[in-house]
Amino acid sequence: MTNYIVRRVILNLFVIYLVGSLIFVLVRLLPGSFIIQRSGLDLAGLTEERIALAKAELGLDKSIGEQYVTYWADLLRLDFGFSFETRHSVVSELADAVPYSFELGVGILLVGLTISIPVGIISAVRQDEWQDYLLRGFAIIALSFPVFWTAALITIANLNFGSPLRLEVIAQPHVWEDPWAAIQWYIIPSFCGGIAGTASIMRVLRSELLEVLRQDYIRTAHSKGLAESTVILRHALQNAFLPVLTLIGLTLASLITGQIILESMFNIPGVGRELIEAISLRDYSMVQGIVLMVASVIVFTNLIVDISYGYLDPRVRFS
Amino acid sequence: MSSATDILIEDPLQETKRSGLIGGFFGALQSFYVKKTLGAVGLTIILVLVIVAVFAPFLSRYDPSFTFQSENPDYKTNPSIADLAKNSNAGSPMIVAQLQQPDSEHWFGTTRAGRDIFARIIYGTRTSLAVGIIASVLAVGLGIFVGGVCGYYLGWLDLLVQRVIDTLQALPSLVLLLLVGQTFEPSLTNVIITMGVIGLPITSRLIRSAVLAIRASTFVEAAAALGASDSRIMFRHVFPNIGSVVIISFTIGIGAYILFEASLSFLGVGPMGVISWGRMVNEGRASIDIHPWMTVFSGAALSLTVVAFNLFGDAIRDVLDPRLRGSR
């Protein structure tokens, strides 16, 4: 087990190294540079000396090779550099942005799980009855609706039918500061993201439950005279839930994709919006920092899921 | 198991009744329509969409980029300065027919630039279908090559390639698309190629594991024992047996690529110079309070298309993937 974990961690670190190098190259392939992007229309004011000065200040005057070495030397000391735009360290910029993304992510997962677990159970228990068809139809539609369209439709409904929810919140409250305002602010984006996540979770849960419900121990539980709800919740659901865990790890990347769109639609100053801004400004350090963070989260979440599998399901053995 | 008999098992019987390959195909199609109602609905919508895309000029009623004009109700032949201050267009007899509500002339209304939304949605079908299908073909083609070679030869090559694929998978596809999309000129071709490459991790993984499974089977062992070369084993024994995985990953992928293109266009970094539903959803948001029609209709077209491909892909997977048979 320890061997397995050590091997996986080393492989993951190698993957992170590749991601870091890939992003270092990709970001420098982007046409234009921060200096041109920032100077706006004042291109005439950009004299050679000023460009050289600005480049030296941003560390862009060195050769690519030198930049690459400094980049990794800094990263190994956990120094992510400073944002070209704000001149604050990338870490402090992320410290501002991450809580917003985290709150939205938790909101999306909460909505997704509250809908998908009961829906998946009903669909499996009532297999091939009308409830099953209805819910599966709903799942396939939810899977196909783009996040941004759901969000736009809700906005239209809000505008035309009125709603108690505030659409425009100028203050950007955190849950721990002003819970009620924050919930109003997050509920629509969470709902839009959650609906999209619901479908895949529900489908996996349903097919796993169908498999588990055919097992001998479920028949035994039934013949012991246990209530239907006990059989499903205590005996079946626990065993059907493991693949859902894997799925959450695997769909993390697509959840983050949805989050990037939702953050830019709903003006949530989270990591996704910062990333889009940083890319369009050619703010190299910010892009590198954000992408490395996102990749690490995805890679290590999957590792944790895989390891916890071994503990949760004794049948799984690592070699 | 479900009460419905499996299509694949029934196939040989159908073929004896009908003669020839074409008869067999129509027989399979017929039983697909009977047994997989939802998949058949999806397939029907897809066929309609293909017809719409091909015959767009005949169905769209108007040119999608024609700017419509209407008579100016405030027109004055010799407007005074005060009139012009009230309405700067008072001097022109015709004004751009912008943001018109849906009526018999413009079924879905007009855009801010005075263009017919219905015509633009009809032409948008071309973009979405082209992106979805070509990107999926590309991703599957690359996947067969990379997954086939890795799954067959394994060893250090496989270990290395798998790490590169891990790297691509450790990044949300949208992030890669945002970066690569802005590096090259955002033409339709470049966007499609980028999406095909970004789809590679998923397709090559699926195909690699299918190849691994077949490689371990007895008939491959027998072929190797008879002295068959690597290429013969690959082309005669391995590839013919991964057909179902290839078809599944192709059909399931299409909907995803259509959604990706729409998301990119929605964020303003999609392919330029073409009509895109995703961009229309975004453009419509600017005047969503008085004129929600563009957002509603283009989003509906997009969702309908993706629903159709997902329904069809699901049904195809049920038919071809033996592990899912019965559970559906």
Please give the domain boundaries of chain A with CATH numbers for all domains. 97-312 (1.10.3720.10)
Q: Is A127's pLDDT higher than 70?
A: yes
Q: Are B24 and B18 in contact (CB under 8 A)?
A: yes
Are the Cβ atoms of A275 and B175 closer than 8 angstroms?
yes
Identify whether the C-beta of residue A152 lies closer than 8 Å to the C-beta of residue B288.
Answer: yes
Res B14: pLDDT: 45
pLDDT of residue B323: 58
pLDDT tens for each residue of A211-241: 888 888 888 888 888 888 888 888 888 778 7
Report how far residue B298's alpha carbon sits from residue B312's, in angstroms, rounded to the nearest whole number.
21
Q: Is A283 a residue whose pLDDT tops 50? A: yes
Please, which residues have CB within 8 angstroms of residue A311's CB and are 6 or more apart in sequence?
A: none
A34 near A283, Cβ under 8 Å? yes
For the CA atoms of B294, B295, B301, B306, the dihedral, rounded to the nearest 10 degrees, stands at 160
What is the predicted pLDDT for the residue at A244?
80
pLDDT reading at A18 higher than 70: yes
In this predicted structure, the answer to whether residue A170 has a pLDDT above a threshold of 70 is: no
Nearest to B167 among A18, A275, A280 (CB): A18
Measured between beta carbons, the chain A residues lying within 8 angstroms of B267 are 261, 264, 276
Determine, for residues A26 and B172 on separate chains, whether the beta-carbon distance falls below 8 Å: no
A193 compared with B114, residue with greater pLDDT:
A193
Interface confidence, given as ipTM, is 0.82
Quote the pLDDT of residue B7: 46
Which domains does chain B carry? 69-105 (no CATH), 115-324 (1.10.3720.10)
pTM reported for the whole predicted model:
0.83
Q: What is the pLDDT along chain B (328 residues), one digit of tens a residue?
A: 344 444 444 444 444 444 566 667 777 777 777 777 788 889 999 999 999 999 888 887 788 877 787 777 777 777 777 777 777 777 777 777 777 778 877 778 888 777 888 888 999 999 999 999 999 999 999 999 999 888 888 888 888 888 888 888 888 888 888 888 778 888 889 889 989 988 898 899 889 888 888 888 888 889 889 988 888 888 888 888 888 889 888 988 899 899 989 988 998 888 888 889 999 988 888 887 788 888 889 999 999 999 999 889 888 887 887 655 444 3
Query: Locate tokens 């892909």: which residue?
Result: B313
CB contact under 8 A, A261 and B174: yes
Q: What is the pLDDT of residue A165?
A: 61
What percent of chain A has a predicted confidence (pLDDT) above 90? 5
Write out pLDDT tens, residues B283-302: 888 887 788 888 889 999 99
Distance CA B198, CA B69 (A): 43
Token couple for B170: 């450790």
Among residues A107, A106, A120, the alpha carbon closest in space to that of A201 is found at: A120
What pLDDT is attached to residue B130? 93
Mutate to test the interface with B, among A148, A200, A274 (most CBs of B within 10 A): A148
Distance from the B188 Cα atom to the nearest Cα atom in chain A, whole angstroms: 18
Query: Using a CB-CB distance cutoff of 8 angstroms, which residues of chain B are in contact with residue A253?
Result: 169-173
- The more confident residue out of A191 and A313 is A191
What the block records as the tokens of B120 is 């633009």
- Report pLDDT for B51: 93
The answer to whether A253 contacts chain B (CB < 8 Å) is: yes
Q: Which of A27, A144, A211, A267 to mutate to test the interface with B (most CBs of B within 10 A)?
A: A144
pLDDT confidence of residue A169: 55
pLDDT top residue among A51 and A235: A235
**pLDDT the model gives residue B9:** 47
